Chain A
């Protein structure tokens, strides 16, 4: 899948994936794709909050919690994070 502004997009995606694996080491990295949600990968509500917070800290950004909404797939999370970085 190609994305506009590929380099930065890839950077955000990789940060999200790295933090997801740090929080949930048994997560199937191969299944970490843009069309899936973190819930589908076995992350519970507090895991998801922590993964997103860690990624924001890594990127040096702060996104209001309500912007993440519920049940977004990984591609949407990347877009929301990118919009603030």
Chain B
């Protein structure tokens, strides 16, 4: 069973749409901005990439070639939804139109939607608990409100669910959808990475264990890139993203143009309930995904690293990359989180979109702020984008609780 990507969508702090994201990647535009300094002894994040001023109506109206009926239904359905659902709706409409599904689609019963992410409503619930409980709370407090809303807007009638895997949710969503397609349950499945709008408790929790970079005593003008020796933790980013996965058969039947092929994937557990990453687990996930893609590590041209900027996480990932790809300069490596911030639940889908754009465009995006790399061998992209013909690309995603995932994309001509 061959699975291809036929549509892309993205709404985030980094860019309002996929064309803008492509531009941001090529230019290495960093969406992170400094956060207001906390009053000691309070903790506060150093940088964040927040999606501010998002307007659903404007977002869907600006999708090129969006049919008026779809635009109006999207607005009518999701206008009063929490931000993550509104952003997901706009990203999904972009991908739906990009894939040409408004024009020619399989039967609605053959189309599904997988929403990647868990604990998506903490910020919404926190606001509700602070004031009166909204009438829509019973609907909106469920993560699956995403699924219902997207199925209503797009008229999808096949399978649907949310898939939770913390920071690895995006890749888990891709794997789940690919399996639904391989299983014969669907011809098309949208994978939507849900925007992580953090509650103050979630933010503080990440700061307390040192996962998120805290604001220091003095001002820091620029965020340090993942994989730089000066990194101090992740910076949160907000984005919703969508990838349309489709069987090659369905894509051919409706004359859609595949952007990339999903060549292999793997999810493995470490047997560990802690935030600690493991070299062995990351190696196992990457090797298994490459095995399933039927390729040797040497054929990988590019790795979209998990690369969060976590001091221990980046070191472990570099060790895993060296073990898989050897001690010679191997594939290009960059960290999209250095530009977008760590989008947590949606990160895997955001990075799938980034990988697809780089494979299609024949380039690797830069990581400004990566001036003192942690490893002399890994071929990190420097301050400028590089032209690169990319045949095979691997996108890694790891999460607390020993969740290790990898997906392998291929240029459609390979």
Contact = CB atoms under 8 A, between A and B. Distances in A.
A57 B136 contact: no
Nearest to B79: A25
Interface string B127-144: 000001011100100000
Contacts of A53: 135
A50 B136 contact: yes
A46 B77 CA distance: 11
Given A23-B80, A26-B76, A46 B132 contact: no
Interface string A44-62: 0010011001100100000
Contacts of A24: 76
Contacts of B132: 57
Contacts of B79: 25
A46 B135 contact: yes
A57 B80 CA distance: 18
A25 B135 CA distance: 18
Interface in B111-152: 132, 134-136, 139
Interface string A32-46: 000000000000001
A49 B135 contact: yes
Number of chain B interface residues as a range: under 10
Nearest to A42: B76
Contacts of B134: 50
A23 B134 CA distance: 13
A23 B80 CA distance: 8
Interface in A43-85: 46, 49-50, 53-54, 57
A46 B139 contact: yes
Contacts of A23: 80
A19 to B, nearest CB: 11
Contact of B136 (A25, A26, A46): A46
Nearest to A52: B135
B316 to A, nearest CB: 46
Nearest to A50: B135
Nearest to B138: A46
Contacts of B139: 46
Contacts of A25: 79
A63 B135 CA distance: 14
Contacts of A54: 135
Contacts of A50: 80, 134-136
Nearest to A57: B132
Interface in B63-93: 76, 79-80
A57 B135 CA distance: 11
A31 to B, nearest CB: 17
A53 B139 CA distance: 15
A55 B408 CA distance: 54
A46 B132 CA distance: 17
B66 to A, nearest CB: 17
B228 to A, nearest CB: 48
Interface in B250-297: none
Most A Cβ at <10 Å: residue of B79, B80, B135, B139: B135
A6 to B, nearest CB: 29
Contacts of B80: 23, 50
A13 B120 CA distance: 38
Nearest to B139: A46
B137 to A, nearest CB: 10
B254 to A, nearest CB: 32
Nearest to A23: B80
A73 B24 CA distance: 53
B212 to A, nearest CB: 35
A79 B283 CA distance: 69
B92 to A, nearest CB: 20
B131 to A, nearest CB: 11
A3 B236 CA distance: 57
Nearest to B72: A26
A57 B132 CA distance: 10
Interface string B314-339: 00000000000000000000000000
Interface of B: 76, 79-80, 132, 134-136, 139
15 contacts: A23-B80, A24-B76, A25-B79, A26-B76, A46-B135, A46-B136, A46-B139, A49-B135, A50-B80, A50-B134, A50-B135, A50-B136, A53-B135, A54-B135, A57-B132
Top 8 closest pairs, chain A to chain B, by CB: A50-B135, A53-B135, A49-B135, A46-B136, A46-B139, A50-B136, A23-B80, A26-B76
Given A25-B79, A54-B135, A57-B132, 12 more contacts: A23-B80, A24-B76, A26-B76, A46-B135, A46-B136, A46-B139, A49-B135, A50-B80, A50-B134, A50-B135, A50-B136, A53-B135
